[in-house]
Structure 1
Amino acid sequence: MESNPAGQGPALSGNVMFYKKPEPLSPEAHGSLGVKRIDQPLGFLRSAHAVPVTVSEFGMAAASFPVIFVGNDKTPVAVMGIREGQNLFVGADGNSDQDFYLPAFVRRYPFVFASDNQSDRLLLCVDREGPMVTDQPEVPFFENGQPTKFTNDAIEFCKEFERQRRATMEFVKLVDSYGLFEQKSVNFTPRDQNGQEGPQQKIADYWAVSEEKLNQLPADKFQELRDNGAIGAIYAHILSLLNWQRVIQRALRTPPPGQPLS
């Protein structure tokens, strides 16, 4: 891990959801810091209705949520709510529903890799404003100027996440090159407290793999996808779309933030 003396850190690029003040981790700047248990460990997740997932997570995430592709880059995300700013799988106590998958994007917090504009490298950073980060830690980041096992484990986790993130980009490029994506939208019908239906509302426009296009691939192209290890992830994604109804039903039972159920 690179060491960056306080006040001499490189300029970082990129903004990442959840992170308010990411700083390159170093014993000089963070030698007295570490983490502690907090009352709401996933409170930061409560306002995220969609969370990025890597291709290696599709199978696990697909058992819990719709896995869709969004934006020009067709970034895969697990849908955890249908309203902006509301995660339906994090309770008021700041804990996630244990019956559902928790993406690695969330589990790595408060650590993250960031790009160094000066040297084209990745640096391990910590969110200095993360609620679990403290100068009175139960688990320190450093001991005698060296990373603790906790910190080394975080480094390895983030390295693996970065490998999977890059593999996911390659997966999306591969699927796109076969012309398998199609645009889709999903809607739901809200109900008031008396069960009366309101006007239909659009939840999202997104990209999905077309099962029809997949089935129409020539045998040799289908075999290529299989040989590249993409078929399993594709089918996991397609099956995950059955979870839209689960998320919608949760939303119908849960009032919007600060509002009555409608």
Structure 2
Amino acid sequence: MNTPAATDSAASAAALPLFYKQPSPLIADRDAELTMAGTGDYRFASITNSLPLVASELPLACKFYPILFSEGAAPQMVALLGLRSGENLFVDAAGRWSEGSYIPAYVRRYPFIFLENDERTEYTLCIDLAAPGVGTGIGNRLFENGEPTEFTRAALDFCREYQAHFRFTAEFTAALHEANLLVDNRADVTLADGERLSLSGFQVIDEARFNALPDETFLQWRQRGWLHLVYCHFISIGNWGALVDRSVPKAV
């Protein structure tokens, strides 16, 4: 399973967040003519089989995607989009997201992003200058009369809200790791056409270990609003079959 290479921290040329190629801080004087046109084209998201999720998305995301956790001491919660590396089964050749399926906030935020400075003392709203639709032509202006437009302020609010949910989610996944609830998993799948696929490098919550949590911990998790996130994860595992079905090319 390929997972995003970096979280929303100070980005370097060697480790940019997934999708972002040329993130640049938005500066009114310099970017006075910058515009962004909404293309409705999600082909930029077709290059990965997993995307980060924040906790607030789980009640919707669990209806469409298996929700898994990356390995390591700082596990990341992700939606699984395909069974092969670099494959997103929810984006077609024309760049359309599968109709009726939930589109993760990480995708809807693009090409905007908050990035930290080197001291991690403040965030700056940035935009990927390499993103489709970003330029100095048609589309929504980002600044007018030296001030952010309503479009830019909406992007700022979205990124600010996303960052808050990101921190909350990191606390939740850290608690899962500390409670030793995450276990390595592997999926071996045989498609209807006989092709065999194997997916590894991800973790799931061990239901038996979760049910054995001390009552005090269980109560603390309820107070933190974490319990329903665990149950959303368990519900999401039922989406494996639908994902397998999507992996088989449809007859034309």
Task: Output the TM-score relative to the length of structure 2.
Answer: 0.89
* Residue of structure 1 in register with 2:198 after alignment: 202
Question: Distance between the aligned counterparts of 2:45 and 2:107, measured in 1?
Answer: 8
Runs of 5+ unmatched residues, structure 2: 1-9
Query: After superposition, what is the alpha-carbon deviation per residue over 1:203-259, rounded to whole angstroms, capped at 9, x for unaligned?
Result: 22311111111112232322222122110000001110111111111012369xxxx
Contact 1:112 1:158 in 2 (8 A): yes
Q: How many Å apart are 1:119 and its aligned residue?
A: 6.5
Question: Distance between the aligned counterparts of 2:97 and 2:236, measured in 1?
Answer: 19
* Residue of structure 2 in register with 1:8 after alignment: none
Find the residue that maps to 1:213 and give its secondary structure.
helix
Question: Distance between the aligned counterparts of 1:167 and 1:218, measured in 2?
Answer: 22
Q: How many Å apart are 1:71 and its aligned residue?
A: 2.6
Query: After superposition, what is the alpha-carbon deviation per residue over 1:171-215, rounded to whole angstroms, capped at 9, x for unaligned?
Result: 1112222221111111111454xxxx24x4312231111111111
1:232 corresponds to which of 228, 231, 242: 228
* Residue of structure 2 in register with 1:212 after alignment: 208
Higher gyration radius (CA): 1
Find the residue that maps to 2:99 and give its secondary structure.
coil
* Residue of structure 1 in register with 2:55 after alignment: 55
**Distance change >3 Å, CA 37–CA 168, structure 1 → 2:** closer
Contact 1:33 1:137 in 2 (8 A): no
Contact 1:34 1:134 in 2 (8 A): yes
Question: Distance between the aligned counterparts of 1:254 and 1:59, measured in 2?
Answer: 29
Question: Distance between the aligned counterparts of 2:168 and 2:66, measured in 1?
Answer: 20
* Residue of structure 2 in register with 1:134 after alignment: 135
* Residue of structure 2 in register with 1:252 after alignment: 248
Matched, 1:241 2:237: yes
Contact 1:186 1:205 in 2 (8 A): no
Find the residue that maps to 1:30 and give its secondary structure.
coil
Q: How many Å apart are 1:115 and its aligned residue?
A: 1.8
**Distance change >3 Å, CA 237–CA 12, structure 1 → 2:** closer
Contact 1:80 1:247 in 2 (8 A): yes
Contact 2:45 2:91 in 1 (8 A): yes
Query: After superposition, what is the alpha-carbon deviation per residue over 1:5-58, rounded to whole angstroms, capped at 9, x for unaligned?
Result: xxxxxx8545111111000011122110111143x5211011121110001111
Find the residue that maps to 2:84 and give its secondary structure.
coil
Question: Distance between the aligned counterparts of 1:118 and 1:214, measured in 2?
Answer: 37
Question: Match for 1:230: what amino acid?
Answer: W
Aligned 1:97-246 pairs, distance under 5 A: 97-117=98-118, 120-192=121-193, 197-198=194-195, 200-246=196-242
When the two chains are superposed, the root-mean-square deviation of aligned CA atoms in Å is: 1.8
**Distance change >3 Å, CA 254–CA 30, structure 1 → 2:** farther
Find the residue that maps to 1:82 and give its secondary structure.
coil
* Residue of structure 1 in register with 2:6 after alignment: none
**Distance change >3 Å, CA 218–CA 116, structure 1 → 2:** closer
